[in-house]
Amino acid sequence: MFKSAAKLVRYEWRSHVKYKKRVQNINRLAQGGNGLRFSSLFTALKMWGVTGAREVSAYSSLRSDGDFRYIPSNFYKSGLSRYLNRSPVADWLDDKANLSVAFPGVTPDMLSLPQQDERSELDIDDAVKSILLSQKNGVVIKDSAGQQGKEVIVLTRDEADAVSLRSAIKSIKGGVVVQHRLSGHYELQRVNSDSLNTIRAITLSWRDRIYYLGAFARFGRKGVRVDNVHSGGLFANSTEGSKAERFFDGDFVEYDCHPDSGVRCDEIKSALGNLGEDLPEFSVSLHERYPQVGLIGWDLVPENGGFSLLEANAKVPAAASLQILNGPLIPEEIFEEIYWSCVSKRH
């Protein structure tokens, strides 16, 4: 079935170093759970190579499911994501400056500015005036190409004066996107009120169908205004029926309660389950507008009985977090077809 795939799935030497910690963290989380059986391990070695098989075995130990279909990190980045998101539309969606054009009516976007060497003092003056006239609850100013919560400046209503706005805009070298600061959902915000806590939903487009792969909630830490895991944030499952009822950090360390607020994960489980009821339909409806993009992570804010879209992530949809919580990323019925398509297109 997977004859010589390991020869096609190449891993740079850096991946052995980069993902060693990831494997150690997952194994620690698994606490000696059962990994892959011999036949599945043999298949994993042929599919993913030694490095990938170790990571897949660690995932399997965590869930004791004996499944070789987990996507290892290096193949996810260089194979799956690169192949599925090879359309230029993926890069276009990833640019936050295009979000309000791509999804009108569902984003909190206020305005955008070109990169630093293309914007004038007059452009900045006009932007500051427009923000002061229209902002109600503060603003979020971010690099239009930024990732992982980097180069994101959050100003409350009291902080968003002319001097602070000008300084924030000028500090960003790339294109600038200014969004209205949202209040968020009460149940999520009580976990950590310093950050806007969001939900990341992931969808897949394959053969004229959009698949909802799952979602997880993200929470910031005290004194930090973004909820990204790379900025120290935590994540927890927002999919009904999941076994996961804990918070996790970027190293997959478990927390029964939020380390700053003390709110237990099971206290918000029912709220997350209720929010999750509408997630599949809404996420799929967004992806249906751009089916040529294979894999998208949607950053969503639940409020007022619906969702606002903060970002569409085609470069870093965050599959590892979802696999920790829900199992293999790709549905079983299309796994083999997608795998071979990725492998054959890489070489």
DSSP 39-78: HHHHHHHHHHHHHHHHHHHHHHHHHT--------HHHIII
Please compute, for residue 156, the number of CA atoms within 13 A of its CA located in the half-sphere on the CB side: 6
pLDDT of residue 78: 80
Helices (H), 135-216: 162-171, 186-189
Q: Which of 330, 70, 309 is nearest to 212 (CA)?
A: 330
180-201 in b/e form (b: 16+ CB < 10 A) is bbbebbebbbbbbebbbbbbbb
Reported confidence tier of residue 176, pLDDT bands at 50, 70, 90: very high
Task: Evaluate whether residue 313 is within a structural domain.
Answer: yes
Q: How far apart are CA 12 and CA 2, in angstroms?
A: 21
Residue with tokens 């980045």: 77
Largest CA distance in the chain: 67
Q: Which residue range forms the structural domain that includes residue 45?
A: 5-70
Q: What is the pTM of this model?
A: 0.90
pLDDT of residue 49: 84
DSSP 257: B
Last residue of a domain, one of 129, 151, 180: 180
Residue with tokens 């990831």: 22
Name the residue with higher pLDDT: 137 or 8: 137
Task: Evaluate whether residue 342 is within a structural domain.
Answer: no
Q: Are the C-beta atoms of 155 and 141 separated by less than 8 Å?
A: yes
Is residue 143 domain-shared with residue 10, that is, in the same domain?
A: no
How many CB atoms are located within 10 Å of the residue 232 CB? 16
Task: Evaluate whether residue 212 is within a structural domain.
Answer: yes
Q: What is the domain count for the chain?
A: 3
Q: How far apart are CA 167 and CA 149, in angstroms?
A: 19
Which of 1-4's residues contact partners 24+ apart within 8 Å by CB, and which partners? 1/43, 1/336, 2/43, 2/46, 2/47, 2/339, 3/46, 4/46
Report the range of poorest mean pLDDT among 81-90, 262-271, 330-339: 262-271
Residues paired with 216 in a beta bridge: 200, 237
Task: Evaluate whether residue 30 is within a structural domain.
Answer: yes
Maximum average pLDDT range among 36-40, 74-78, 199-203: 199-203
Give backbone dihedrals phi and psi of 289, rounded to 5 degrees, phi first: -75, -25
Q: How far apart are CA 84 and CA 81, in angstroms?
A: 5
pLDDT of residue 34: 67
pLDDT one-digit tens code per residue, 142-152 = 999 887 767 89
DSSP 11: -
pLDDT of residue 319: 76
Is residue 249 domain-shared with residue 326, that is, in the same domain?
A: yes
Is residue 9 domain-shared with residue 65, that is, in the same domain?
A: yes
pLDDT one-digit tens code per residue, 210-255 = 999 999 999 999 999 999 888 899 998 765 544 457 899 988 888 9
Q: For position 284, which CATH number holds?
A: 3.30.470.20
Residues paired with 210 in a beta bridge: 205
Q: For position 153, which CATH number holds?
A: 3.30.1490.20
Is residue 89 domain-shared with residue 232, that is, in the same domain?
A: yes
Extract the tokens encoding 51. Answer: 């490095």
Is residue 166 domain-shared with residue 191, that is, in the same domain?
A: no
Task: Evaluate whether residue 243 is within a structural domain.
Answer: yes
